[in-house]
Structure 1
Amino acid sequence: MTRPSAAPDTTGDGASDRFGTGPAATSDQTAEGSAAVPGADPQGIAEARRGPTVPVAAGPAKHRAPAPDDNRFDQVLEELRKQIRDLEFAEGLPNAEEGRTLQADVLAQLSDYVLPRVRRPDIPLLIAVAGSTGAGKSTLVNSLVGEQVTTTGVRRPTTNSPVLACNPADVDWFSEASFIPSLPRVRQQGLAMPGKDGMLVLAATEAMPPGVALLDTPDVDSAVAAHHEFAAKFLDAADLWVFVTTSTRYADARVWEFLQVARDRDTSLAVVLSRVPRRGRRRLLDHFGAMLEANGLGNAARFAIPETDQVKGERFTANVADHIRDYLAEVAGEAEQRDRVSRRTFIGVIDSFRTRVPELARQVEAQIETGRTLSTVVDDAYAGAHRRVDTSLVDGSLLRGSLLARWQEVAASGELAKSLRMRGRRTRRSGRAEQAERGQRVSALERALRDALEAVVVSACEHASDEIEQKWREVPGGGDLAGKALDQPGTGLLSQQIRQEIAEWQDDVAEMTTVSGATKRSVARFVTFDRDIVALVLIIDLLGYERSRSGGGAHAADTSGPSPQRLLKGLFGAQSLRSIGETARDNLRRRVLGLLDRERVPFDSALASAGIPSEDSAVQLYQATYNLEIAR
Structure 2
Amino acid sequence: MTRPSAAPDTSGSGPTGRFGTGPAATSDQHSHASAPGPGEDPRAIAQARRGPTVPVPAGPAKHRAPAPEDGRFEQILETLRRQIRDLEFAEGLPGSEEGRVLQADVLAQLTDYVLPRVRRPDIPLLIAVAGSTGAGKSTLVNSLVGEQVTTTGVRRPTTNSPVLACNPADVDWFGEASFIPSLPRVRQQGLAMPGKDGMLVLAATEAMPPGVALLDTPDVDSAVAAHHEFAAKFLDAADLWVFVTTSTRYADARVWEFLQVARDRDTSLSVVLSRVPRKGRRQLLDHFGAMLEANGLGGATRFAIPETDQIQGERFTSNVADHIREFLADVAGEAEQRDRVSRRTFIGVIDSFRTRIPELARQVEAQIEAGRALGSAVDDAYATARRRIDTGLGDGSLLRGPLLARWQEVAASGELARSLRGKRARRSGRAEQAERGQRVAALEDAVRDALEALVVSACEHASEEIEGRWREVPGGQAMASRALNQPGTGLLAQQTRQEIAEWQREIAEMTTASGATKRSVARFVTFDPDIVTLILIIDLLGYEQSHSGGGAHAADTSGTSPQRLLKGLFGAQSLRSIGATARDNLRRRVLGLLQRERVPFDSALASAGIPSEDTAVQLYQATYNLEIAR
TM-score above 0.5: yes
- Residue 548 of structure 1 is matched in structure 2 by 546
Measure how far apart 1:309 and its partner are: 1.3
What SS does the aligned partner of 1:219 have?
A: coil
TM superposition shift of 1:548:
0.7
Whether the 8 Å CA contact 1:403–1:445 is kept in 2: the answer is yes
Q: Secondary structure of the equivalent of 1:234?
A: helix
Counterpart of 1:89 in 2: which secondary structure?
coil
2:54 matched residue in structure 1: 53
Runs of 4+ off more than 6 Å: 37-40, 42-48, 517-520
Task: Report the CA distance between 1:159 and its aligned residue.
Answer: 5.4
Contact 2:29–2:305 (CA under 8 A) maintained in structure 1? yes
| AA of the residue aligned to 2:166 | C
Q: Please give the alpha-carbon distance, in whole angstroms, between the structure 2 residues aligned to 1:17 and 1:397.
A: 78
The match for 1:616 is 614
Shift of 1:155: 3.1
Amino acid at match of 1:170: D
| Partner residue, 2:92 | 92
Provide the residue aligned with 1:456 in structure 2: 454
Tell me whether 1:558 sits opposite 2:556 in the alignment. Answer: yes
TM-score, structure 1 length as denominator? 0.93
Asked if 1:34 corresponds to 2:32, the answer is: no
SS in structure 2 of the partner of residue 292 of structure 1:
helix
Deviations 1:604-623 (Å, cap 9, x if unpaired)? 11111111111111111111
Other-structure match for 1:10? none
Aligned-partner Cα distance in 2 for 1:94–1:151: 43
CA distances 1:368-403 after superposition (whole Å, capped 9, x unpaired): 111110111111111111111111111111111111
Does residue 401 of structure 2 align to residue 411 of structure 1? no
Relative to structure 1, the CA distance from residue 19 to residue 542 in structure 2 (aligned partners, 3 Å threshold; closer, same or farther) is: farther
Q: Deviations over 1:259-278 (max 9, x none)?
A: 11001001000111111111
Q: Which residue number in structure 2 is paired with residue 262 of structure 1?
A: 262
Q: 2:337, 2:174 → 1: CA distance?
A: 22
Instruction: Please say if residues 37 and 304 of structure 1, whose CA atoms lie closer than 8 Å, have aligned partners that are also in contact.
Output: no
Distance in 2, matches of 1:51 and 1:102, equals 42
Mapped contact 1:67–1:343 kept (Cα < 8 A): no
Q: Which residue does the alignment assign to 1:130?
A: 130
Matched, 1:582 2:580: yes
Q: Residue 140 of structure 2 aligns to which amino acid in structure 1?
A: L
Size of the alignment, in residue pairs? 613
CA shift for structure 1 position 19: 7.8
Contact 1:512–1:518 (8 Å) recurs in 2: no
So what's the TM-score if we normalise by structure 2? 0.93
Task: Report if the CA contact (8 A) 1:45-1:326 is conserved.
Answer: no
* Structure-2 change in CA distance of 1:195 and 1:559 (3 Å): same
Contact 1:262/1:269 (CA < 8 Å) preserved in 2?
yes
Q: Is the 8 A contact 1:130 1:231 kept in 2?
A: yes
Matched, 1:380 2:380: yes
Q: How far apart are 1:583 and its partner, in Å?
A: 1.6
CA pair 335-432 structure 1, distance change in 2 beyond 3 A: same
Q: Which moved more, 1:542-551 or 1:149-158?
A: 149-158
Cα drift, residue 490 of structure 1: 0.4
Q: Name the % identity.
A: 83
1:46 Cα deviation after fit? 6.4
Q: Distance in 2 between matches of 1:506 and 1:456?
A: 17
The amino acid that maps onto 2:505 is D
> Is the 8 Å Cα contact of residues 266 and 348 (structure 2) preserved in structure 1?
yes
Aligned pairs (5 A) from 1:77-476? 77-158=77-158, 160-422=160-422, 425-476=423-474
Secondary structure class of the residue paired with 1:527 = coil
Deviations 1:84-139 (A, max 9, x none): 01111111122211110000000000000001001111100000001111111111
Cα 1:380–1:43 change in 2 (3 A) is closer
The question of 1:73 aligning with 2:65 is answered: no
Listed one character per residue, the Cα deviations across residues 486-506 of structure 1 (whole Å, up to 9, x for unaligned) are 110001111111111101111
Q: Letter of the aligned partner of 1:329 in structure 2?
A: A
**Aligned AA for 1:500?**
Q
Segment of structure 1 superposing worse, 271-280 or 155-164: 155-164
Query: Is there any run of 5+ residues in structure 1 with no aligned partner, and where?
Result: 1-15
Distance 1:33 1:572 in 2: 112
Q: Distance in 2 between matches of 1:556 and 1:167?
A: 100
1:251 Cα offset (Å): 1.2
Deviations 1:410-467 (A, max 9, x none): 1111111111133xx4211211111111111111111111011001111111111112
Q: Matched residue of 1:172: which SS?
A: coil
SS across alignment from 1:269: strand
Q: Which moved more, 1:520-529 or 1:177-186?
A: 520-529
| 1:329-349 superposed Cα distances (whole Å, 9 cap, x missing partner) | 111112222111111100110
Is 1:267–1:345's contact at 8 Å kept on the other side of the alignment? yes
| Cα distance change on mapping 1:518 and 1:206 into 2, 3 Å | farther
**Mean Cα deviation higher: 410-419 or 102-111:** 410-419
Q: Secondary structure at the match of 1:114?
A: helix
Cα shift at 1:75: 1.0
